[in-house]
Amino acid sequence: MSAAGTAAAAGELRTHGLAYSAGQRLILSGIECALPGSAVTGLLGPNGAGKSSLLRLIAAVLKPTSGQVSLAGTDLRSLKRKERAQHLAFVDQQVDADVPLSVADAVLVGRLPYRPAYAPETIRDELIVQRSLAQVGLEGFGARRLDSLSGGERQRVHIARALAQQTGVLLLDEPTNHLDLNAQNGVLDLLRGLARGGSTVVAALHDINLTAAYCDHVIVLAGGRVVASGETASTLTPGLIRSVYGVPAVRLDNPLTGRPVFAFGGTDQP
C-alpha cells in the first residue's frame, strides 16, 4: 500500500482571496488559486514575491489577514491542528541546525499528529517510518545520524518525515536549494512519483528550468500577486519571464527530455 495514497482522496486544494501582511507591509493579496491533485505545482517568482509566505499560509503555519484555504471544500483553519496535520505536510527551507537525531527518529517525528502527547510510538509507527524511508530511497539509513548525511539525503529524510505524516498534500519550500544537480533531479523525480501516486505536491522553486522540466502546473507570483498560473508548458513563456524577472529569455526544446528549457540573456538595460 502507499503511505501517501491512503489520504489521496484529498480533494482539491484552493485558496480564496488570500491576503497576508506582516505589520504594515503587505506581503500577499488577492491570491486565488487552485492546486490540482495528482500533480506537481511549482511556485515561481522573484525573491520577496511571497512564495514562502503563500506556502506557510496554505500549511496554516501563518494566519492570513483575510481569505481562506480550503481542502475539498473545507476551510483548513476550521480543523483541529492535529487533524490538519493529517491532511497537509510541510517541508520547510533547509535549516542547517545540527540536529543530533537519528534518521529514523527524525522521520518518526512525522507521526506526532497521530498520537496523544504522552503516548509512545507503536510498532505501526515504526513500520510507517521504515516504509517512508524506503519510499525516498533511504532504506537502511535509519540508524545513521542526520548530520552525517549529504544535503540531498537530508532533504529526502525531510520528505520521508512528510510521508510518514500520511497526508494527501505535500508542501515544500525550495526543496532543491543547496543540492547538486543529481540530488536536485533525484528530489524532483521523487516528488513527481508521489504526485503520480495521487498526492497534491506544491513546491516553491527558484530554478525556472527545473520548474519547466518537472512541474505539471505553475503559479507565478510577483509583488505579492499571482501574475500567471496554469499548465507549465503553456504558462511559462519568454514574455512572462521577461516581465517578472526583467531578464530576456528564449525558449528551446531539451532534446534529452523533450521538455522546454529556457536560455537567458543579460539583464534588460533600457
Partner 1 sequence: MSLQHRARPGAPPTSRFPAAARRAGARPAALWPLALGGVLAVSVVLALTIGPADISPLQVARSAAERVTGAGTSPAGGDAAALSSVQEAILWQLRLPRLLTAAFVGAGLALSGAVMQALTRNPLADPYLLGLSSGASLGAVSVLLLGAAVVLPLAAFAGAMAALVLTLSLAAAAGSISPSRTVLAGLAVSSAASALTSFIIFFSAKGDSYREVLNWLLGSLAGSTWASVAITAVAFLLAGIPILLTGGLLDGFSFGDNAAGALGLNVPVLRWVLLAGTAVLTGAMVSVSGSIGFVGLILPHAVRLLTGARHRVLLPAVALAGAVFLVWADTLARTVFEPREIPVGIVTALIGAPVFAVLLWRRKARS
Contacting positions for partner 1 (CB under 8 A): 1-3, 5, 56, 59-61, 80-86, 88-92, 95, 97-102, 104-106, 108-110, 112-113, 117-120, 123, 126-127, 129-131, 134-137, 139-140, 142-143, 147, 158, 161, 165, 171, 186, 189-190, 193-194, 196-197
Integer Cα distance of 52 and 11 in angstroms: 23
Integer Cα distance of 50 and 172 in angstroms: 14
C-alpha cell at 125: 509507527
By the 8 A CB rule, do 132 and 156 touch?
A: no
User: Crossing angle for the helix pair 151-164 and 123-135, nearest 10 degrees?
Assistant: 140
Q: What's at 182, amino acid-wise?
A: N
DSSP H or E segment with residue 167: none
Least distance CB 187 / partner 1 (angstroms): 11
What single DSSP character describes residue 12? -
Residue 39 or residue 208: which is nearer to partner 1 going by CB? Answer: 39
Q: What's at 235, amino acid-wise?
A: T
Least distance CB 61 / partner 1 (angstroms): 4
C-alpha cell at 11: 480533494
What single DSSP character describes residue 237? -
Residue 69 or residue 104: which is nearer to partner 1 going by CB? Answer: 104
Integer Cα distance of 65 and 26 in angstroms: 10
Residue 73 or residue 120: which is nearer to partner 1 going by CB? Answer: 120
Q: What's at 264, amino acid-wise?
A: F
**Residue closest to 198 by CA, chosen among 176, 170, 174:** 170
C-alpha cell at 132: 517512508
Residue 64 or residue 235: which is nearer to partner 1 going by CB? Answer: 64
Q: Locate cell 498520537: which residue?
A: 115
Least distance CB 19 / partner 1 (angstroms): 20
Least distance CB 91 / partner 1 (angstroms): 8
Residue 82 or residue 268: which is nearer to partner 1 going by CB? Answer: 82
Least distance CB 85 / partner 1 (angstroms): 3
Least distance CB 245 / partner 1 (angstroms): 26
Integer Cα distance of 190 and 227 in angstroms: 28
Least distance CB 113 / partner 1 (angstroms): 4
Residue 102 or residue 237: which is nearer to partner 1 going by CB? Answer: 102
Q: Locate cell 533511504: which residue?
A: 138
Residue 94 or residue 237: which is nearer to partner 1 going by CB? Answer: 94
